[in-house]
Structure 1
Amino acid sequence: MPITSPAHTLRALLELDYYHIRSVQLPVEITMLDAWNIATAEPGLAMRLAFRIRDAISSLFGVRRIGGFSGVARKTVHAGEHLDFFLVEHSASNILVLTERDRHLDVMICLSITDRVLTITSSVVTHNLYGRIYMLPVGLAHKVIVSSHLRRLKRSLEGQ
């Protein structure tokens, strides 16, 4: 039987300007918030530098600085709160729906766990030229970031 994901996206797939999905088999059962805490625990120098560059350039176009991942572990999270720069739109033991919206683009990251398979589904809708240009490098970087987070998570869980 195929594994299905409860993934959420901003719109139907054909209406998205960016879509990326990546999954990893987890060696043990954990909650979605545990997965988030482990994956974002240590942002690393390259990640911190990437967010500084992003903030410096984007702020010239009226986009607020987001600062990146704090590495601060959360014990609970509820809809309406923030996980770093993301607004939590939905939170359950097996799913987190996170968004970041501004005048240039809307981003939704849906993290879900089904049968010990963690899936990260990312969707973006751009609103203007800056949003489209922004997504050229960020779309590529996003794939590297997600892969890195999933590898870190799996290694951490295998080491326990």
Structure 2
Amino acid sequence: MSVGMGRIATAQVELVAPRAALDFFDQQSVVAADPLTSLEVWRRVMAEPLPFLDVAFKLRDAVSARFGVKRIGGFSGKVPGFVQAGDKIDFFLVETLNDTVMSLSARDRHLDVLTCITCVDHSVTITSSVKVHNWFGRLYMLPVGPAHRLIVRHMLRKLSG
């Protein structure tokens, strides 16, 4: 298993803004046991969301709601049988979906997020980019940024042989 900045997939990575304008960027890769499509990656990593994420999202919703941020409820672990661009998966909007790229966005007045899953052969990369709009978005990303990196690393480990 190679989690980290190892072999990066050559599929087109989508970002929420140009790289130089981002307030947060994380890109991690793994060599999967089998070749996967981008949607198969999402299904596998979300089949069993980390147990503490439910509590973290409840806390996030309770605090963020006081600042006018919509409650998102977290990850359900369920992915519809048919998904296409324009659909919602939990709180994400599916922006792009094909065999090699799946990009998911969440946008509000505080920040814009785009998570992009790219797959080429056995190589899987998850790239997350954030553009912050105000002080609350910056404050929000202080704990979320480091936590996000750990969560993605754990999710990618599910894919290795």
- Flag whether TM exceeds 0.5 (same fold): yes
Mind listing any 5+ residue stretches in structure 1 that lack a counterpart? none
Give the C-alpha shift of residue 3 in structure 1: 5.0
Q: Does 1:137 align with 2:109?
A: no
Matches within 5 A, 1:83-98: 83-98=89-104
Q: Does 1:41 align with 2:52?
A: no
Secondary structure of the residue that 2:129 maps to in structure 1? strand
Distance 1:105 1:62 in 2: 13
Question: Aligned match of 1:24 in 30, 35, 40?
Answer: 30
Q: Does 1:118 align with 2:133?
A: no
State the number of aligned residues. Answer: 155
Distance 2:92 2:109 in 1: 15
Q: Which structure has the highest helix share of the two?
A: 1
Runs of 4+ in 1 over 2 A off after TM superposition: 2-5, 73-76
Question: Aligned match of 1:73 in 75, 79, 90?
Answer: 79
**Contact residue 9 and residue 123 of structure 1 kept, 8 A:** yes
Give the C-alpha shift of residue 115 in structure 1: 2.6
Give the C-alpha shift of residue 83 in structure 1: 1.1
What is the CA RMSD across the aligned residues, in angstroms? 1.6
Secondary structure of the residue that 1:153 maps to in structure 2? coil
Give the C-alpha shift of residue 109 in structure 1: 0.4
TM-score by length of 1: 0.91
Mind listing any 5+ residue stretches in structure 2 that lack a counterpart? 1-7
Distance 1:3 1:113 in 2: 6
**Contact residue 37 and residue 74 of structure 1 kept, 8 A:** no
Against the structure 1 CA distance between its residues 88 and 3, is the aligned structure 2 distance closer, same or farther, given a 3 Å change threshold? closer
Distance 1:146 1:113 in 2: 15
Partner of 1:10 in structure 2? 16
Matches within 5 A, 1:140-159: 140-154=146-160, 158=161
